[in-house]
Amino acid sequence: MSNGLIWEVASVQRKIYCLGNRDLLKEEKLVAVVGSRQMSDYGKYAVKCFVPKLVRAGLVIVSGMALGVDSFSQEVCLNCGGKTIAVLASGVDVPSPKSNEWLYYRILKEGGLIISEYPNGTRPDKDKFLERDAVMAGLGLGVLVIEGRERSGTRVIARLAAEQGREVWAVPGRIDQEGSWTPNYLIKNGAGLVTKAEDILADLGEGWR
């Protein structure tokens, strides 16, 4: 069973359904990690460089459990003994995508949290992803972007995060890779260029270094 609560995300009250460790929502140290569903070897390398150090610094990793960078970031987080929050575009009792059902149950087993704006039994569809992205973008201190094509939800999440006053960091990508378009675009337009986790921790302030 999931329990609904009214939660303020970026000064907007939303009804959030929860399954798992609700205490994670009380944390002030949440960071979203998002990126391409078509994750390259470079993207995988970047996740392995950033996520373990963010976890060791005490940050909770937020993502959407989508294929590619999102789910891999959450898997790496759990492998490091960290906690993660998955934001779904379905009911919290409907693992999505179905192919990541194993990750859904592992998150719950290892003290993580599944949240959604949608009641139990709700199936995912494309119209729900923008609202899911807004929650993911506004839930924490900022968003780390690792890969994303020009027409991708990753770019939307970064825009929503900036509009909600959150930090946006981007890992620069190779100019010959399609998946580098969004992070390189974001950097050109003011996102923080980061090449190591310490760059993010420095932006977050003295207590995180």
Q: 């303020």: which residue's tokens?
A: 8
Model confidence band, residue 1 (pLDDT cutoffs 50, 70, 90): very low
Q: Would the pLDDT of 179 be above 70?
A: yes
Mean pLDDT of the chain: 91
> For 133-144, how does the pLDDT look when each residue is reduced to its tens digit (9 = 90+)?
999 999 999 999
d(CA 127, CA 48): 32
What predicted TM-score, i.e. pTM, was given to this entire model?
A: 0.92
Domain extents for the chain?
A: 3-208
Q: Mapping DSSP to helix (H, G, I), strand (E, B) and coil, where does residue 4 land?
A: strand
Lowest mean pLDDT among 7-21, 28-42, 113-127, 189-203: 7-21
113 alpha-carbon distance from chain centroid: 13
Can you spell out the DSSP letters for 120-150? Answer: TTPPP-GGGHHHHHHHHHHSSSEEEEE---S
CATH architecture for the domain at 3-208: 3-Layer(aba) Sandwich (3.40)
d(CA 36, CA 117): 23
